[in-house]
Amino acid sequence: MTVEILKSKILRAEVTEAEADYEGSLAIDGALMKRIGLLPYEKILVGNITNGERLETYAIEAPEGSGTFALNGAAAHRGKPGDLLVIMNFAHMPYEEARSWKPRVIVMADHNRTIIKERSPEGETGEPFRVAACETAS
């Protein structure tokens, strides 16, 4: 048996743009996508912490170090610049593996310029660092 389980999450990402005249998606700073292991065009679930809206879309890569979180297309109607988001993606895995799985989680601050908390399957880090300094997740 397999189960669907949280693979990774970005918490408190601030919307930087909302452009309805676009094909769709959520553009995310490429360094952050790499840090949590999110692929371009991977399906994501987005919760708007500010207004309670939820939507399902896919991620596209914005320039690394930009701090971009841009709602595009129909998704642009679910938020506006300044809104805070939680962005989640999921994976299917065998039940036994899922029982001990730990998702990769980052918490944003400072208008998407700083990660204030990070947790990976290997453990938690508590040292803040600037987004421009992000490295690829292992």
User: Catalytic amino acids?
Assistant: 25, 58
Tokens of 3: 């189960």
Question: Do the annotations mark residue 57 as ligand-binding?
Answer: yes
**Cβ atoms of 24 and 57 closer than 8 Å:** yes
For the chain, the straight-line distance linking the first and the last C-alpha, in angstroms and rounded, comes to: 27
Question: Do the annotations mark residue 68 as ligand-binding?
Answer: no
Contacting residues for 135 by C-beta, under 8 A, at least 6 apart: 31, 34, 35
Question: Do the annotations mark residue 75 as ligand-binding?
Answer: yes
Separation between Cα atoms, residue 62 and residue 56, nearest integer Å:
18
- Known binding-site residues equal 57, 73-75
Binding site listing for substrate: 57, 73-75
